[in-house]
Amino acid sequence: MKEKVEALGARAYIYETDMAGGGIIVKEIIEAIDTCREAIVLISPNTLRKPDWVIFEIGAVRGQHKRVTPILNNVDPQEIGPTKDIKGVGLNRFEHFLRQLKRRVDQHASRKK
């Protein structure tokens, strides 16, 4: 997913792979959210077993009034409280989501010129 997002000209951040050892997870996630325009959050059955991080991330993005899109991998969005009112995208529709994201990335780039 990260490679596909970055191929559109967007920057993707995944704290598990992008954070240097010794980093403070909460601090780095908040810094990444501060600098983003929108967030994509993968929600899977693993997420449902320990939903605290996803709930925190979604809440932080929403607290800044930024777009957050849950990407749903074999889960119902109703199973995670903060996503009940957000239109999620099934993982099998990720390519469709990428086309929408590409339009937003292009619009932002043209406004910066």
Q: DSSP characters for 58-73? A: HHHHHHTT-EEEEEES
Q: Is the model's pLDDT at 108 over the cut of 90?
A: no
Q: What is the band of 113 on the pLDDT scale with cuts at 50, 70, 90?
A: low
Residues 8-57: tens digit of each pLDDT: 999 999 888 888 899 898 999 999 999 999 999 999 998 888 888 888 99
Tens-place pLDDT, residues 63-97: 999 999 999 999 877 777 767 788 899 999 999 99
Residue 94 belongs to what domain range? 2-112
Task: Give which of 7, 8, 29, 9 is closest to 18, Cα–Cα.
Answer: 29
Structure confidence at residue 5 (pLDDT): 95
Q: How many domains are there within the chain?
A: 1
Which tokens is 74 given? 């074999």
pLDDT at 99 > cutoff 80: yes
CATH of residue 18:
3.40.50.10140
Is residue 74 helix, strand or coil? coil
User: In sequence order, which residues have a C-beta less than 8 Å from that of residue 66 and are 6 or more positions away?
Assistant: 33, 36, 37, 38, 39
- 70 neighbors 94 (Cβ within 8 angstroms): no
